[in-house]
């Protein structure tokens, strides 16, 4: 080992990296902590938590291969206990990190973390019911689907929506970093990028899905179906008097109930797509459309 270390000048490199880290910490007001441990949630830990939660929500389909129905409740209870304790540890890290410049009283932060994860646990039955509507919508919306089980096991859009439903609850609860990590794990696996802040009603179906982008302030109604490479994005990014991007303003579309958006369509800005509308493939849209509209590239060119 030492024979190879001499080739890399590791002592000098480690020393230089230490200086760079300290310079960054000084510039950004970071203070060394007495415990010296990790301050931020772990992507690897969140990945494992999400896997456990999926298995607990759908034990006989996503759980272990040797699971039997008579042991289902025990398995769900044990799996949730492991997942929720791990999630609590990650929530504590996020809340402590957020509070580190405001308070040294971590008892309040830890109590809040327990409360938030208790609420998350109590919401799991309703989240499972909500996901059942999404899975059924995928089955009913795709003639190639042979069963709801196939949809759950195989469809990337369903996996992305499972992650989103869980992440959205965390986001609304005040754990935005854990929510973003959850969303990005799904993005890396499926190619579907849903910001955890997006509000999505029941019976939502993403078909194929690769390249779909849904922004933070998007609102999606019931029974909406979208296809691959659809973007629900922002038209522009206002800046403040200091030249910094403004945060938390409404900048993404509102999609009303029963809308279908075909592959490659791009809808930008705080516009409203009326109930029952159909948005054709590769359409670029920056204006609202009324209920029942049928928007195609040819129609837009004609309007121009």
Sign of the dihedral through C-alpha 252, 161, 181, 112? positive
- Residue ranges of the chain that CATH labels 1.10.3130.10: 36-190
- Facing residues of 213 across strands? 193, 231
Please tell me the distance from the alpha carbon of residue 31 to that of residue 25, in angstroms, as a whole number: 7
Question: Which element (helix H / strand E) includes 198?
Answer: none
Q: Output phi, psi for 162, to 5 deg.
A: -60, -50
Tens of pLDDT, residues 176-222: 999 999 999 999 999 999 999 999 999 999 999 999 999 999 999 99
97 against 195, higher pLDDT:
195
Question: What topology does CATH give the domain 211-304?
Answer: UDP N-Acetylglucosamine Acyltransferase; domain 1 (2.160.10)
120 falls in which pLDDT band (50, 70, 90)?
Answer: very high
- Residue ranges of the chain that CATH labels 2.160.10.10: 211-304
Weakest-pLDDT range from 83-87, 119-123, 242-246 = 242-246
What CATH number is given for 36-190 in this structure?
Answer: 1.10.3130.10
Q: Does position 272 have pLDDT exceeding 90, yes or no? A: yes
Q: Does position 50 have pLDDT exceeding 60, yes or no? A: yes
Q: Does position 31 have pLDDT exceeding 70, yes or no? A: no
> How high does pLDDT run on average in the chain?
92
Tens of pLDDT, residues 56-89: 999 999 999 999 999 999 999 999 999 999 999 9
Assigned token pair, 7: 């080739």
Q: What confidence score (pLDDT) does residue 301 get? A: 64
Please tell me the distance from the alpha carbon of residue 255 to that of residue 218, in angstroms, as a whole number: 8
From 227, 229, 209, 224, select the one nearest 276 (Cα to Cα): 224
7 falls in which pLDDT band (50, 70, 90)?
Answer: confident
Please tell me the distance from the alpha carbon of residue 139 to that of residue 45, in angstroms, as a whole number: 32
Evaluate if pTM is beyond 0.75. yes
Tens of pLDDT, residues 179-190: 999 999 999 999
Exposed, middle or buried, 260 (CB in 10 Å: 0-12/13-18/19+)? buried
Report in angstroms the alpha-carbon separations of 263 from 21, 166, 266, 270: 45, 26, 9, 20
Q: What is the 3-state secondary structure (H, E, C) of 202-215?
A: CCCEECCCCCCEEC
Residue 227, CB-side half-sphere exposure with 13 Å CA sphere: 14
Assigned token pair, 55: 């298995």
28 falls in which pLDDT band (50, 70, 90)?
Answer: confident
Distance of CA 2 to the CA centre of its chain: 44
């Amino acid at each position: 080992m030492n024979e190879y270390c001499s080739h890399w000048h590791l002592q000098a490199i480690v020393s230089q990296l230490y200086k760079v880290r300290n310079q960054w910490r000084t510039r950004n007001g970071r203070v060394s902590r007495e415990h010296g441990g990790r301050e931020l949630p772990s992507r690897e830990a969140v990945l494992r938590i999400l896997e456990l939660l999926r298995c607990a929500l759908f034990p006989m389909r996503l759980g272990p291969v040797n699971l039997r129905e008579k042991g289902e409740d025990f398995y769900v209870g044990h799996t949730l206990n492991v997942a929720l304790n791990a999630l609590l540890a990650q929530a504590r890290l996020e809340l402590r990190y957020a509070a580190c410049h405001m308070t040294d009283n971590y008892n309040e932060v830890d109590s809040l973390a327990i409360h938030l994860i208790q609420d998350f646990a109590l919401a799991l039955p309703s989240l499972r019911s909500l996901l059942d509507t999404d899975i059924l919508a995928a089955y009913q919306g795709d003639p190639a689907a042979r069963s709801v089980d196939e949809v759950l096991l195989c469809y990337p859009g369903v996996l992305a929506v499972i992650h989103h439903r869980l992440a959205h609850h965390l986001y609304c609860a005040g754990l935005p970093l854990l929510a973003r990590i959850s969303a990005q794990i799904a993005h890396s696996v499926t190619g579907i990028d849903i910001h955890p802040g997006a509000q999505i009603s029941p019976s939502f179906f993403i078909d194929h899905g690769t390249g779909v982008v849904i922004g933070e302030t998007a609102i999606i109604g019931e029974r909406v179906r979208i296809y691959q490479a659809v973007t629900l994005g922002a038209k522009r990014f206002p800046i403040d008097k200091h030249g910094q991007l403004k945060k938390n303003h409404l900048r993404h579309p509102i999609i009303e109930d029963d809308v279908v958006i075909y592959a490659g369509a791009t809808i930008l800005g705080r516009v409203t797509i009326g109930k029952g509308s159909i948005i054709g493939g590769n359409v670029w849209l920056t204006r609202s459309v009324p209920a029942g509209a049928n928007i195609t590239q040819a129609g837009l060119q004609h309007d121009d």
